[in-house]
Every structure is written in structure tokens, then in C-alpha cells.
Amino acid sequence: MKAWSAACEAISGAVLPGVFGFVRAGAIALSLWLASALAAQAACTWDVAFTFVGQTKTINTNDCELAAPDGTYGSFYDSPTVDIQSGYGLGANDAGISVAEQRSGSNGGNYEFTFNVSNSVLQIKLLTAPPSGSDSFTGYMYTGNPSFRSDTPATINFTYGPTPTLTAVTPASGPTGGGTTVVITGTNLSGATAVTFGGTAAAGYTVNSATQITATAPARSAGFVNVVVTTSGGTATLTGGYTYVAAPTVTSVSPATGPTGGGTTIIITGTGFSAANATGAVKFGTTNATYTINSATQITATAPANSAGTYDITVTTPGGTSATSANDQYTYVSAPTVTSTSPTSGPTGGGTTVTITGTGFSAASGTGAVKFGATTATYTINSNTQITATAPANSAGTYDITVTTPGGTSATSASDQ
């Protein structure tokens, strides 16, 4: 029972001479204590969070109750009618010995209470988790009732959330500008209260189930970051679970021209290529190319077939698609044609000036592009449709005059002879 005798001793310690003096001093001491107790009277509340069944948590009931005048301990009672001088409350017997007692919460949880009288610590063990994840148990504390009754409502609020875990983030990388929709998988994710990427809150998230969350990655600087999910059961961290990737750049392409039929080997130079997929990342305009990623700064690609014209070569990674500029442009050139030559004959020693008419001559190199048979001629490109050449020496016979550009070599016919 609560140490009322000790309280009386404390009061009688102030005894004045004579019976009247004792009564008067005791009354004064008791009145002062009751005034203090009544002034402190207030509702009592504790919050206890469990993360697994069988877990034990503690609260200190002296945080709320004003104990009997000796101030030794405070107890949690089931009823407001309990005489605190005759009992030690929930979790202890009338002799003040700790005894485990089971009680049910308002939402179906089951708990075991054990009280330590010596330090006012109430130990609570979760036996059955509340189905809804939250629960409460209501009782009473003594906070100054003159009749020494437990009179002040007291509530222990329980929450239950098993510890979450994270196993994967898909996709595991995205642009520094954020906006990527990712699927976070794990366990015990229901009721998540926060999702962060490297400490930055997700732009938004939806808890799909206990094992899946869909989140939008926020903007961050390039690099690896931890993905963290917080629930009532704690926090789960996937270390380095998401990588922010800077967008690649294309600074040059070589050669910058080729035939419409494709097949030209192109060296693409830039930055951020290592993060590109092995297929589908390099395009000439909107047409996919085949390629090999040599390093973070170089790709070797084979130009696909395309219509004549100039196209941007782009590289796409999880960091985004390279911005277009004049540096990434590749021009598809149609093969030239030779429609006539004049004159059509000359001496075997060469030296005859020949006017070659056709199309697609502007793309030809300044040397080596014009041949009489297999022999290279000297020439001047007058326009896209005309070349003036000097016939080289050759054996007697008829030869095709051809013009070669990045678009290919002109097809032979009677018109070029």
C-alpha cells in the first residue's frame, strides 16, 4: 500500500509542543501539500510506438502523477474509485510486488503491463498488434484528490508499425532535374509518412501497397543518393539506391557527311556517354543507329540510311538527351550523277578540257573525286551541277567519267563516256 505512514511521519516531524501544536502543524503541512497537488491536477497522456509483436516499451508514471505526500512513486489505475492508500495500480500487487497483467486496448491490441514500484516505471509488452495500427488504453492517475482516489483520466496511445525495408528502386537513375517516376519496392511500407532522395523530399509519392511505393524523384545534383522511406515503424534506407545523372553532350561528329544509304562509321565525341544503354541511345534525327560506347567521351556509330539532308545526332542516357547544336549535325548526301561530258573524246596523251554536267557535285572534295576510268583527273568544281576537268593520259579506248562525293560515286552510263 502507498506509504501513508511515512507521510504521517513527515508531517509529525514538525510537531510543536503539546497536542494542540501537533494537530496544528500537521494540518498546515497537509494543507500546503493538498494545495500544491490540486494546482497540478491535469490529464495524463503517453505515446508508445511498437514496431514488432513481443516488443517491450516503458513509460515513467511519475511524469504525471502526484504521489502520496511522501512522493515515492506514482501508479496507473484501472478505475477512478481505487483508494491509492490500498493499492499499487496496474502491474503490481497489493504488496508492491511487480506482477504482469494483461489488458486490451480500445482497438483490439493486447498488452502486458508490469509496474516497478521502486522507480515508477510501467513496462508494456505488445502481445497482439491492433489491426488498424493504432490503439489506446485509458485509466486514471492520482493528481491530488483529497480523498486519495485515482481521479485524473490518463491515456496511453499505442501505434504499431513493423520496421520497413527497401529492396530496389526502379529505374535506379534519372536526370538531375528530377521528375522521374520510380517504383520503390520493399516490405512494411504501408502508411509511409516520408520518402526522400539524398535527404530531399520526393516531389510526390503514392503508397500502392505494403510492398510498393510510386514516387517522383526531386531535382538534385549528379551523383549517388540514399533513398529513405519513413513509416510509423521506423525508417528504411537503400544506400546509393538512386543515381542522378547529368545530361550527355555531343561536341563533335566525324565525318560529318555520308551517303543516304547509310553505313558510314562515325566517331561521336562528347560527355556522359557511359550511362547510355547499349541499344537505342544514339539517333540520327529520329532514326536509331548501331553503336559501341568506347568511353564516357566517345561512341563509334554506324550511320543508318536516311533521306538527304542535315540531321542532329543525339545521345540519350538516364540523365536526358543531349541538347542539339551545329556541333552534332550530320549531313546525308545523295550520290552524284553525271548526265553529260563535252567533248566526249581526246588524245591519249590527255590535256583536253572537259566540261562535266550532272548533280551533287558541291559535296565533292577538291582532289581525287573525278576519274576517267580508274585514272584521277585534275578539276575545278564550278557549281553543284558542273565541273571542269582536264583529261589525264590514258590508253586508247572508251572510259566512264565518275564523280565521287560523301554520298557515293555516280552510277555509270553512256552519258558519262
For residue range 143-177, list pLDDT tens digits in order.
777 777 777 889 999 988 888 999 999 999 999 99
Please indicate whether residue 51 or residue 13 has the higher confidence score (pLDDT): 51
Mean pLDDT of 271-289: 96
Question: Tell me, what's the pLDDT at 138?
Answer: 93
Handedness of CA 17, 23, 28, 29 (dihedral sign): positive
Question: Tell me, what's the pLDDT at 88?
Answer: 86
Question: Tell me, what's the pLDDT at 150?
Answer: 79
Taking a C-beta distance cutoff of 8 angstroms, is the pair 121, 49 a contact?
no
Name the burial class of residue 206, with classes exposed (0-12), middle (13-18) and buried (19+) by CB atoms within 10 angstroms of its CB. Answer: exposed
Position 279 pLDDT exceeds 80: yes
Q: Which of 57, 59, 53, 58 is nearest to 127 (CA)?
A: 53
Taking a C-beta distance cutoff of 8 angstroms, is the pair 18, 82 a contact?
no
| Range among 76-80, 152-156, 369-373 rated most confident | 369-373
Percent of the chain with pLDDT over 90: 73
Helix axes 18-40, 4-12, angle to 10 degrees: 120
Taking a C-beta distance cutoff of 8 angstroms, is the pair 277, 320 a contact?
no
The span from the CA of 213 to the CA of 217, in Å, is 12
Q: Which of 157, 166, 162, 227 is nearest to 191 (CA)?
A: 162
Least confident window among 144-158, 253-267, 350-364: 144-158
Please indicate whether residue 26 or residue 165 has the higher confidence score (pLDDT): 165
Please indicate whether residue 141 or residue 396 has the higher confidence score (pLDDT): 396
Chain centre to alpha carbon of residue 194: 12
Position 16 pLDDT exceeds 70: no
Position 126 pLDDT exceeds 50: yes
75 pLDDT band, cuts 50/70/90, is confident
DSSP assignment string, 340-386: EEES----TT---EEEEEEE--TTS-SSS-EEETTEE-EEEEEETTE
Mean pLDDT of 108-132: 93
Mean pLDDT of 226-235: 92
Mean pLDDT of 367-386: 97
Question: Tell me, what's the pLDDT at 280?
Answer: 97
Please indicate whether residue 265 or residue 33 has the higher confidence score (pLDDT): 265
35 pLDDT band, cuts 50/70/90, is very low
DSSP assignment string, 26-69: HHHHHHHHHHHHHHH---EEEEEEESSTT-EEEEEGGGT---ST
Name the burial class of residue 78, with classes exposed (0-12), middle (13-18) and buried (19+) by CB atoms within 10 angstroms of its CB. Answer: middle
Position 25 pLDDT exceeds 80: no
Least confident window among 135-149, 206-220, 339-353: 135-149
Position 347 pLDDT exceeds 60: yes
Q: Which of 44, 49, 46, 59 is nearest to 114 (CA)?
A: 59
Percent of the chain with pLDDT over 70: 88
Q: What is the pLDDT of residues 85-94, one digit of tens each?
A: 778 889 999 8
Max intra-chain CA distance, the chain: 157
Question: Tell me, what's the pLDDT at 374?
Answer: 97
Taking a C-beta distance cutoff of 8 angstroms, is the pair 399, 324 a contact?
no
- Based on its alpha-carbon atoms, the radius of gyration of the chain, rounded to whole angstroms, reads 45
